[in-house]
Structure 1
């Protein structure tokens, strides 16, 4: 079992790395850092967030997050909206321009997956197993069974 776990971790890491690198080719053209892109992804997939929530998600200090937010705001990729209830709190929202960047990355990654599927041949059971793997991984992580 341990040997399979080691092999599975290595395979998943390699797959994730290749997909990530393909998507990040878009970022090189735009001169965005991976940390800035991570902020955009959080906002794109999880919706508007407070600065403190972004810091927690990234695992970085609030001052680091503030710097990332300022640079993204200057590029018009996000906007900060002051809370009407508490003037000290700002919510961060991704702009249409920011969403377009994420969309470009996703399109590039999908294109890569299309090429992979073309080479492998269409296999419905493979996709079903991937879905089962994802769901099981989510259950274990959410259940904190590690």
Structure 2
């Protein structure tokens, strides 16, 4: 294979692997009566604390227009609440509720176990190398854009 063929093959393999891994993780998430986006928002709030609504989309790779809908759904389920910022009334935070924390404490270990199962075919060194290589390609793509 020449340089261009290797690049194209890398892209195709990465895309297919991502789709397979993501599909399996999402299938697991839906067993908890959450869609993958709802889970991503709750996971962000659970691990990182309150977040301004305007910044959530960028942190979980979601179009900003969809954030309001997802936050509304999670609020209806009692898993998060909106909180006005004390310093700037234009900013609203998403805050995980006790019920949301309880849910994440219940389901996150199982989610993490599923991810561990998916990557169990790789050694710790291979995982570290994979992370390094994907970051390298990702940062390069960012610079090129």
TM superposition score normalised by structure 1? 0.71
User: What does residue 120 of structure 1 align with?
Assistant: none
Q: Work out the CA distance in 2 between the residues paired with 1:4 and 1:76.
A: 49
User: Residue deviations 1:33-73, cap 9 Å, x none?
Assistant: 233233234434554321111134434234x3112101112
Which SS does the other structure have where 1:38 is aligned?
helix
How many aligned residue pairs are there?
136
Alpha carbons 2:46, 2:101 under 8 Å: kept = no
User: What does residue 110 of structure 2 align with?
Assistant: 104
Q: RMSD over aligned Cα, in angstroms? A: 2.7
Q: Work out the CA distance in 1 between the residues paired with 2:82 and 2:104.
A: 15
Q: Residues 141, 36 of structure 1: CA spacing in aligned structure 2 closer, same or farther, 3 A cutoff?
A: same
Q: Residues 5, 140 of structure 1: CA spacing in aligned structure 2 closer, same or farther, 3 A cutoff?
A: closer
Q: Work out the CA distance in 2 between the residues paired with 1:12 and 1:44.
A: 29
Alignment of 1:138 onto 2:141? no
User: Residue deviations 1:118-141, cap 9 Å, x none?
Assistant: xxxxx75xx434423422432453
Segments of 5+ residues of structure 2 without an aligned counterpart are none
Q: Residues 69, 107 of structure 1: CA spacing in aligned structure 2 closer, same or farther, 3 A cutoff?
A: same
